[in-house]
């Protein structure tokens, strides 16, 4: 009887060990399967994806652009990652490479190229060995000159500094101030070749300030570079094409002021740049009309008359007619 019980006990222990071993094997197989199915396991910032843009036209040049992209994740939409862009032009033998720290493509463009194979963001099974071809002509383009942003193309050609030669503009996703898109600017010589880095504008101010908050006036050939510091602590530097250079011509700053009548006001100070020095041109004071949800110029009587707030009434009768703020 005791022998039988011992045998039964040993058999049960053996079977229990078998179950543990089977569970361990299944767990590891599942882990390996997850690794195979999850591209983020091998998208570790060392693997690259190859895109080829065709029919990239800039004047007489028709480029093919090979992009070697190193995404941090296969779902890298809106999360710019490093890339090398190789521009090749066979007819004129005009080829060059540029880099960006934040290359990005929209989900729609990636789907059309075959990077994603379904609406649930399934990825191409040979994602690392496939060359994904994109027709550049089919992409919408941003335009710094027209202050239009949000295009699909990750780069475009445009004369952003009014020297009558197109620049190569490379979008850098989300790396600008307050996480807006920034633009990397490359310049070319009169023969169409990219200017060597030593003489390039790519790392020089004000070219390093281009982002979606930059405003270009193509009528007077000026560029206003806005730097956001909050509701009333921002800056703006304006440059204008004068001869063969971009000349620094104007500086604006916004700062808080106090008023006996209105309390908090925001003062906008505008300076002309004369012989490299800031010379005050004028100042404008505004208060925030909480009813209308907008800033109102303190001595803009027309705005004051049409406002029904108490502050506007005081502004019109005690401030504007008295000749301005009493600080």
For the ranges 16-25, 92-101, 232-241, which has the lowest average pLDDT?
16-25
pLDDT one-digit tens code per residue, 169-200: 999 999 999 999 999 999 998 887 889 888 89
Residues 76 and 197 occupy one common structural domain: yes
Residues 140 and 108 occupy one common structural domain: yes
Q: Is residue 219 part of a domain?
A: no
Other Cβ atoms closer than 10 A to 57? 11
How many residues are there in the chain?
327
Q: Is residue 112 part of a domain?
A: yes
The SS3 call for residue 254 is strand
pLDDT one-digit tens code per residue, 78-121: 578 999 999 998 887 788 999 999 999 998 999 999 988 877 77
Residues 28 and 89 occupy one common structural domain: no
Q: Is residue 220 part of a domain?
A: no
Residues 189 and 279 occupy one common structural domain: no
Residues 51 and 100 occupy one common structural domain: yes
Residues 25 and 154 occupy one common structural domain: no
Locate the DSSP E strands across the chain: 49-58, 61-69, 81-88, 96-103, 131-135, 155-158, 167-172, 182-186, 215-217, 222-227, 235-242, 245-259, 263-274, 277-289, 294-297
Q: How far is the C-alpha of 153 from the C-alpha of 61, rounded, in Å? A: 18
Residues 199 and 161 occupy one common structural domain: yes
Instruction: Give Dmax over CA atoms of the chain in angstroms.
Output: 114
Q: Is residue 222 part of a domain?
A: no
Q: Is residue 43 part of a domain?
A: yes
Arithmetic mean of pLDDT over the chain: 80
pTM for this predicted structure: 0.78
Identify the pLDDT of residue 299. Answer: 63
Q: How far is the C-alpha of 57 from the C-alpha of 306, rounded, in Å? A: 53
The SS3 call for residue 199 is helix
Range of the domain at 308: 229-327
Instruction: Give how many domains the chain has, as a whole number.
Output: 3
Residues 108 and 236 occupy one common structural domain: no
């Amino acid at each position: 009887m005791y022998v039988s019980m011992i045998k039964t006990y040993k058999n049960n222990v053996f079977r229990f060990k078998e179950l543990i071993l089977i569970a361990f094997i299944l767990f590891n197989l599942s882990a390996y399967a997850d690794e195979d199915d999850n591209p983020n396991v091998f998208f570790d910032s060392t693997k690259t994806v190859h895109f080829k843009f065709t029919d990239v036209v800039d004047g007489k040049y028709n480029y093919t652009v090979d992009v070697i992209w190193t995404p941090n994740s296969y779902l890298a939409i809106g999360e710019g990652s490093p890339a090398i862009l190789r521009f090749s032009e066979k007819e004129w033998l005009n080829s060059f490479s540029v880099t960006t720290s934040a290359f990005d493509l929209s989900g729609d463009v990636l789907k059309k190229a075959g990077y994603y194979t379904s609406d649930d963001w399934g990825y191409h099974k040979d994602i690392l060995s496939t060359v994904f071809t994109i027709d550049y002509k089919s992409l919408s383009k941003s335009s710094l000159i027209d202050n239009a942003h949000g295009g699909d193309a990750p780069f475009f050609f445009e004369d952003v500094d009014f020297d009558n030669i197109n620049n190569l503009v490379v979008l850098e996703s989300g790396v600008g101030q307050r996480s807006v898109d920034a633009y990397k600017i490359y310049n070319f010589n009169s023969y169409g070749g990219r200017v060597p880095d030593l003489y390039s504008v790519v790392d020089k101010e004000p070219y390093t300030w281009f982002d979606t908050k930059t405003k270009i006036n193509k009528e007077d050939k000026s560029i206003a570079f806005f730097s956001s510091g909050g509701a009333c602590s921002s800056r703006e530097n304006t440059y204008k094409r004068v001869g063969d250079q971009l000349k620094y011509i104007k500086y604006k700053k916004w700062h808080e002021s106090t008023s006996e009548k209105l309390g908090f006001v925001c003062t906008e100070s505008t300076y002309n740049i004369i012989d490299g020095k800031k010379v005050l041109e004028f100042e404008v004071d505004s208060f925030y009309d909480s009813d209308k949800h907008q800033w109102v110029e303190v001595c803009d009587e027309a705005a004051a008359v049409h406002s029904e707030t108490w502050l506007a009434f005081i502004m019109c009768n005690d401030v504007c007619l008295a000749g301005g703020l009493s600080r």
